[in-house]
Amino acid sequence: MGAEPRPVAPEPERAVLVGVDLGGSAWPLDESLSELGRLAETDGAVVVGTLTQRLERPSARTFIGSGKAEELAGLVRSLDADVVIFDDELTPSQQANLEKALGRDVKVIDRTALILDIFGRHATTRDGRLQVQLAQLNYLLPRLRGMWSHLVGEQTRGGIGSRFGQGESQLEVDRRLVRKRISRLQEELRRLDTRRSTQSKARWDSGVFRVALAGYTNAGKSTLLNRLTSSDVYVRDELFATLDPTTRSLELSEGRKVTVTDTVGFIQKLPTLLVDSFKSTLAEVSNADLVLEVVDAHDPNASKEIAAVEDVLSQIGADKIPSLVVYNKLDLLAPEELAEMRAEHPGAAFVSALDGRGIDALLHAVASMASQGDETVTALIPYEKGMLVRMVHESCQVMHEDYRQDGLLVTVRAPKRVYESLKAYPADAAKAPRHADVPDASAATDTESQAE
């Protein structure tokens, strides 16, 4: 018998990008199209051409002008393109009119559909898949009338844009069934949101300081999480490599434990319906005590990316949370570039998650912010209050502890949540350790290890 034939990888789709300069955007058109090209490549396409136009306002019929639409049709034929991707969101009628002008074998999608498709590829957990499906179906619903035959054809062909309505058969894709499916997804996500809220409340009640990593996609958040917590979270040099939140524990030098959570990266023109669908995931950011805004220091668009991230943080109600800007990838900067950035941004942290430079200074800054508002308290904790003892060791700076017959006598620097709990167990002032008796950190650690 001969060897079985090896499966042949599908040919990448050939994409033409279309951008329109409408004026007033913080992002130059060429830079926005460059990012759109990276998105297309992330979704498995190869960019074979671009087309641009400057307009005061989009054409109601085809977004671009009629003459430009004819030019696009000729470009698509000459380049043998499979898909045309617009950098701005198209209305259902614009999409249908463009497909008619370009021919039925050419798909027309916009940036929103492309991002949703990438999310469909990268969602791995049940929560992530449900949230992506909800966003995709909400995008699909108003387009059903114009997309019916188009949708059937492209679901058969596969490729970019074909993962919409995952799990739905062709016969089920109509308005009534899509609305029903949306309702079911919303109900499932409400249940998951309740569970996540319960877990979040448990972390809040524990007094553990919560740090969230936020930033533009591909800024190196996952690499930074791995560096801070000695983890092995999936890292890849592509846009939206991480969708599902990942939380790891980190012990600071003073003994306090904090949690660090990595979430989905942001991007300019992030679809609002995607932000809405991912609110339960993004709640990991809005419920944090500190947000580390991770920035690619080597990216020439760093300031624009910060603005895009802060816009999304505002949308999810996280703009009032204490934050620290962390410029990552300083290993890619020349010494003079780094010196200039430090002078321009004196309040920021500068790190290389890749080689570890600046990490100690970042941890010191996190520890300093985590201890803001801490108060010193001495308490005698009954041994049956094991959870409170655990909270003390995980979320406080232990200055002194003494295992006594009637309980654990501690003097700690405690965050407000734990401080309020400890006040219920006051210690006799005469028994409390004097300041001069407070041991150094190493002695406290020895005392704790002996007690264990």
The CATH number for 338's domain is 3.40.50.300
Query: Is residue 269 situated within a structural domain?
Result: yes
Q: Residue 448: which region, alpha, beta or left (left: phi > 0; alpha: psi -120 to 50)?
A: alpha
- pTM (predicted TM-score): 0.75
- Supply the pLDDT for residue 328: 97
Tens digits of residue pLDDT in 63-75: 999 999 999 999 9
pLDDT of 440: 41
Bridge partners, 380 (sequence order): 409
> Is 188 a residue whose pLDDT tops 70?
yes
Q: Are residues 80 and 132 in the same domain?
A: no
Q: Which domain holds residue 427?
A: 375-451
Q: Are residues 38 and 158 in the same domain?
A: no
CATH of the domain at 97: 3.40.50.11060
- Predicted local confidence at residue 243, as pLDDT: 64
Q: Among 273-287, 311-325, 402-416, where is mean pLDDT lowest?
A: 273-287
**CATH number of the domain to which 382 belongs:** 3.30.70
| DSSP structure class, residue 55 | -
Both 217 and 362 in one domain: the answer is yes
When mean pLDDT is compared across 96-100, 175-179, 197-201, 367-371, the lowest value belongs to 197-201
- In the chain, pLDDT over 90 holds for what percent of residues? 41
Backbone dihedral angles phi then psi of residue 209, each to the nearest 5 degrees: -70, 130
User: Is residue 1, in this structure, part of any structural domain at all?
Assistant: no
Residue 363 lies in a domain: yes
Percent of the chain with pLDDT over 70: 80
Mean per-residue pLDDT, 8-33: 88
Asked if residue 87 is part of any domain, the answer here is yes
* Dihedrals phi, psi of 33, to nearest 5 degrees: -70, -35
Domain edge (last residue) among 351, 370, 389 = 370
Mean pLDDT of all residues in 385-400? 86
Residue 320, judged by CB atoms within 10 A of its CB (0-12, 13-18, 19+), counts as exposed
Residue where a domain terminates, one of 324, 355, 370: 370
Q: Is residue 193 part of a domain?
A: no
Specify whether 317 is located in the same domain as 353. yes
Is residue 194 included in any domain, yes or no? no
Which string of DSSP letters, residue by residue, matches 330-391? GGGS-HHHHHHHHHH-TTSEE--TTT-TTHHHHHHHHHHHHTTT-EEEEEEE-TT-HHHHHH
Give the number of other Cβ atoms within 10 Å of residue 295's Cβ: 25
Residues 144 and 60 in one domain: no
Consecutive H or E run containing 21? strand 13-21
> Residue 142: inside a domain, yes or no?
yes
pLDDT 10s digits, 319-351? 899 999 999 999 999 999 999 999 999 999 999
> Same domain, yes or no, for 283 and 366?
yes
**Is residue 203 a contact partner of residue 212, using CB atoms and an 8 Å limit?**
no
Packing angle of the helix pair 175-206, 279-286 (nearest 10 deg)? 20
Mean per-residue pLDDT over the chain, rounded: 82
Task: Based on the fold, state whether residues 128 and 23 are members of the same structural domain.
Answer: no
User: Looking at per-residue confidence, does 149 or 347 come out higher?
Assistant: 347
| CA–CA gap between residue 117 and residue 140 (Å, rounded) | 12
Is residue 205 a contact partner of residue 336, using CB atoms and an 8 Å limit? no
- Is the pLDDT at 161 greater than 80? The verdict is no
Within this chain, do residues 227 and 336 fall inside the same structural domain, yes or no? Answer: yes
Please check whether residues 34 and 140 belong to one and the same domain.
no
Model pLDDT for residues 204-254, shown as the tens digit of each residue: 555 688 999 999 988 999 999 999 998 776 555 556 666 667 889 898 887
Residues 54 and 132 in one domain: no
**pLDDT, mean of residues 11-32:** 91
Q: Tell me, what's the pLDDT at 4?
A: 57
Closest C-alpha to 223, from 213, 215, 233, 214: 233
* 301 pLDDT more than 80: yes
Name which residue leads in pLDDT, 296 or 151.
296
Q: How many domains does the chain have?
A: 4
| Of the residues 161, 188, 215, the one at which a domain ends | 188
Which of 371, 422, 374, 381 is closest to 401 using CA atoms? 381
* Pair (52, 29) in one structural domain: yes
Query: What pLDDT, on the 0 to 100 scale, is given for residue 190?
Result: 84
Query: Is 2 domain-assigned?
Result: no
Domain co-membership, 346 together with 381: no
Each residue's pLDDT tens digit, 351-377: 999 999 999 999 999 988 988 878 889
